């Protein structure tokens, strides 16, 4: 067991379930695999990368700058999709926040939502507080309410839950590459290392 993983298990430094033996990082392998691989929706020659996150997860907030860097540098044939997770009904409104930003084409507020929650200590966990915050960011309040409550956003949430279940995600952040490999800060040894591992796994998938 690596010192990093031992610290996690002893201190609860990451909000996650205990990793199965097949997921525990070793010097030789720092990711878990899906056997058989899960089919992806990416076009031929493209590699799908799924990021499972939650706005209230402090480790997702810490990893976001590294995710942003990866997105700026990624190959055009890497299809990156963020998937907000919900462990319980109390997290659904945060899923709605993300998909509201997607529908409104305001993903420029994605990083600001993390900052608002984890640095400014705003409670963006419930509908009314989220709508008020969006209005403060210049989003038309009536439009935000309409999209937030829409059938389209509800459909996206249902799909996110199905994907989360399909990949058996029990910790955030977790990043899955090409339906075959999963990595996280715990597996890779840190936030920056997780994205380095993602890049290595993308290359591994492209070479196969």
C-beta separation of 147 from 102 below 8 A: no
Tell me: pLDDT of 7 over 50.
no
Instruction: Please state, for a pLDDT cut of 90, what percent of the chain lies above it.
Output: 78
**pLDDT tens sequence across 98-138:** 999 999 999 999 999 999 999 999 999 999 999 999 999 99
Average the pLDDT over 156-180 and give the result.
Answer: 96
pLDDT at residue 28, as a whole number: 43
Tell me: pLDDT of 15 over 60.
no
pLDDT at residue 45, as a whole number: 86
**Which residues, at least 6 apart from 19, have a Cβ–Cβ distance to it below 8 Å?**
5, 186, 187
C-beta separation of 47 from 200 below 8 A: no
Average the pLDDT over 6-34 and give the result.
Answer: 45
Average the pLDDT over 68-95 and give the result.
Answer: 96
Average the pLDDT over 170-182 and give the result.
Answer: 96
Q: What angle do CA 142, 97, 119 make, to 5 degrees?
A: 115
Peptide bond into 205 cis (omega under 30): no
Strands 47-53 and 78-84: parallel
Tell me: pLDDT of 146 over 70.
yes
pLDDT at residue 29, as a whole number: 63
pLDDT at residue 133, as a whole number: 98
**pLDDT tens sequence across 184-199:** 999 999 999 999 999 9
The more confidently predicted of residues 19 and 91 is 91
pLDDT at residue 187, as a whole number: 94
C-beta separation of 98 from 51 below 8 A: no
pLDDT at residue 198, as a whole number: 97
**pLDDT tens sequence across 24-79:** 333 346 789 998 999 888 878 899 999 999 999 999 999 999 999 999 999 999 99
Taking only Cα atoms into account, the Rg of the chain, rounded to an integer number of angstroms, comes to 17
Tokens 């935000």 locate to 144
């Amino acid at each position: 067991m690596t010192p990093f993983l031992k610290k996690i298990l002893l201190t609860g430094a990451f909000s996650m379930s205990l990793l199965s033996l097949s997921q525990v990082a070793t010097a030789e392998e720092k990711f878990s695999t899906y056997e058989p691989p899960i089919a992806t929706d990416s076009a031929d020659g493209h590699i799908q990368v799924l990021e499972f996150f939650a706005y209230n997860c402090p480790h997702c907030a810490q990893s976001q700058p590294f995710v942003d860097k990866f997105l700026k540098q990624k190959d055009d044939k890497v299809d990156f999709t963020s998937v907000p997770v919900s462990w319980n009904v109390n997290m659904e409104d945060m899923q709605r926040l993300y998909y509201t930003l997607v529908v409104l084409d305001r993903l420029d507020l994605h990083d600001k939502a993390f900052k608002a929650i984890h640095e400014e200590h705003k409670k963006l966990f419930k509908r009314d507080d989220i709508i008020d915050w969006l209005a403060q960011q210049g989003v038309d309040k009536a439009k935000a309410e309409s999209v937030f409550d829409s059938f389209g956003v509800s459909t996206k949430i249902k799909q996110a839950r199905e994907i989360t279940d399909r990949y058996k995600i029990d910790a955030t952040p977790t990043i899955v590459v090409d339906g075959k490999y999963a990595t996280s800060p715990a597996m890779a040894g840190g936030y920056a290392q997780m994205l380095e591992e993602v890049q290595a796994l993308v290359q591994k998938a492209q070479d196969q």
